[in-house]
Chains A and B, each alone.
Chain A
């Protein structure tokens, strides 16, 4: 029995040494041993092989449903034009308003079209893959193809759950623990440039370890546009991992609400070494207070740039939804950043109404890898005569354009809430003015 424990202990020790040596040290100092690259290459080749096999089997069926953005073709006409056409075939009624039964048909038709396809609902579910990537969770329609494919799939499950997942969990734990300890230690130093430098180093190191913990391959483009101190960095939001991705390449000040529990511990530790903007729950409701604190932070040129996600919620990375105008009213320089994930190796989208945070992290750790591109866009300022909303939309379009995402006007809050009644009333008003306005004789019976 004792031999067993001794053996287990030595295995554990070797395991830890391997991790420290092969992953942590390179992460701390920012160089790479090439292990991740080899892993990714093998992965890409395996997935290509799997895709070919599936395509060969599907050749008879010819069902390559390309992930086009729309399913149905809609009439482009306005409400007035369509109703005109519907009524054209009927003679005008001798008395009464201009209302006819046929008008209902227009609204019914539109309603059914919306049920079949609408722009918003599809943004809150994960992106459809063109070809299966050997993960159970993305397997919807794919059938049994060959023994070899199933074996590879089974091997994949084993590798992901028994080898990769424990490794990643270990790394994540080490990373977070180190973050807390490191930042608290740095916080003990007096304020000086040494402290800032050390604090940056500690932060970046921990985020690098976390990124290795997710097998993330990140490519940064246009690094000359990186956000500078005293500015605000805005990006599209797909998951909490966005923070890890962005902070791998620089240090930012976070904004958010203080939580309890583990997250709260991390937050409090972080704020010791360099200033972040954490709010109490009650303070978040007071918009002026929030704006003022952000402004104070931004005006202090020694403080790090603030990182904000103006969408306010996680979207599935095929589009960018409405940006809330709060961060654009402060008057600071805005540094837009576009983040685009490649869903082939693992879906990064956090559907917070469906999965809890822990569930989501486990799913992340049992995916193949994370592959994303980050584009830094040139800084933008609010122009004269432009209000906050227009400025926000301009920034949003730039981000959507660069990242290859669809630019939508809808509010991300629709994930949970319903559309306001005012929208419906607008439509009703329009129609009723058509009916009553056209009709000069009125229905004065």
Chain B
């Protein structure tokens, strides 16, 4: 009686709020969403995310799901990947995409940006050696371009190679033609995307489901 399953008191939210930077309202909404995805269980597995129909359209669905279960995105020093994640870990991953508020300072925005870049870097760097090699990059390109035959594998490979070459020439300007370019490090990654305006794009914009009172009931 007086059921307490899944009930979180406001101060427990506080801990999550500090850790992830979401507001209490957003955490509440995300928790409802977590329950929907997990079927009211305590954890989400890859199958739960796999079955979202809108995600099926996405060509890099597998990479995104892997990123969610990637331990590197939990702001701790562990590596590897989870089989299932709980709500707190879900929030940690989603916090990479939290929206900036009016109170976010310039330093915080810089940090947010770096976080997002780190997340995306991790998505490409699957073997976690700190470098995106040509092979890893090619995999991503092939994923996005069609496997169904509209682009031949040769063309996809060519596109990946060309893009890689461009990265190399931007970052190591005096590279001799015989030098072997290891791969894109995180610094190079940041360098390439320096001009990219990410702050206003790569976050989730929560609708303001603010203080709507029910009509006719005065709660004064």
Contacts and interface: CB of A to CB of B under 8 A. Distances in A.
Interface of A: 51-52, 55-56, 59, 61-66, 68, 70-74, 85-86, 89-90, 93-97, 99-105, 107-122, 125, 128, 130, 136, 139-141, 143-144, 150, 153-154, 157, 354, 410, 414, 418-419, 423-429, 431-433, 435-436, 443-445
Given A90-B195, A96-B158, 12 more contacts: A65-B209, A66-B209, A72-B206, A111-B58, A115-B55, A121-B37, A125-B39, A140-B7, A153-B2, A419-B57, A427-B59, A443-B162
Interface in B146-178: 146-148, 150-151, 155, 158-163, 165-166
Contacts of B58: 107, 110-111, 114, 424, 427
A398 to B, nearest CB: 25
B106 interface: no
Nearest to B220: A59
B1 A153 contact: yes
B1 A154 contact: yes
A206 B134 CA distance: 72
A64 B212 contact: yes
Contacts of A445: 158, 161-162
26 contacts: A52-B217, A59-B219, A63-B24, A90-B195, A93-B163, A96-B158, A96-B162, A99-B141, A102-B196, A105-B201, A108-B63, A111-B58, A116-B204, A118-B54, A136-B3, A141-B6, A150-B2, A418-B53, A419-B53, A424-B59, A427-B57, A427-B59, A428-B144, A429-B150, A436-B151, A444-B158
Contact of B155 (A89, A95, A154, A436): A436
A370 to B, nearest CB: 23
A100 B151 CA distance: 17
B194 to A, nearest CB: 9
Interface of B: 1-3, 6-10, 24-25, 28-30, 32-33, 35-37, 39-40, 49-61, 63-64, 67-68, 94, 97, 120, 123-124, 140-141, 144-148, 150-151, 155, 158-163, 165-166, 189, 192-193, 195-198, 201-202, 204-207, 209, 211-214, 217, 219
A153 B160 CA distance: 64
Contact of A432 (B140, B151, B163, B198): B151
B206 to A, nearest CB: 6
A96 B166 contact: yes
Given A97-B162, A107-B58, A428-B59, A115 B68 contact: yes
B55 A118 contact: yes
Given A107-B58, A107-B59, A431-B144, A116 B33 contact: yes
Most central of B68, B97, B196 by chain A CB within 10 Å: B196
Nearest to A417: B51
B164 to A, nearest CB: 9
Contacts of B159: 96-97, 99, 435, 443
A121 B209 contact: no
A73 B144 contact: no
A84 to B, nearest CB: 12
Contact of A63 (B25, B52, B63): B25
B163 A97 contact: yes
A136 B211 CA distance: 26
Name the 4 nearest CB pairs between A and B, nearest first: A96-B162, A419-B56, A443-B158, A428-B146
Given A150-B2, A431-B144, A118 B57 contact: no
Nearest to B68: A115
A123 B150 CA distance: 35
B199 to A, nearest CB: 12
B52 A114 contact: yes
Contacts of B39: 125, 354
Nearest to A139: B3
A128 B32 contact: yes
Given A114-B52, A125-B36, A428-B59, A140 B162 contact: no
Contacts of A354: 39
Contacts of A443: 155, 158-159, 161-162
B150 A433 contact: yes
- Of A128, A139, A414, the most chain B CB neighbours within 10 A belong to A139
Contacts of A150: 1-2
Contacts of A63: 24-25, 28
B205 A73 contact: yes
Contacts of B25: 63, 65
A104 B61 CA distance: 11
Contacts of B57: 419, 423-424, 426-427
Contacts of B94: 112, 116
B74 to A, nearest CB: 16
A348 B185 CA distance: 55
Nearest to A67: B209
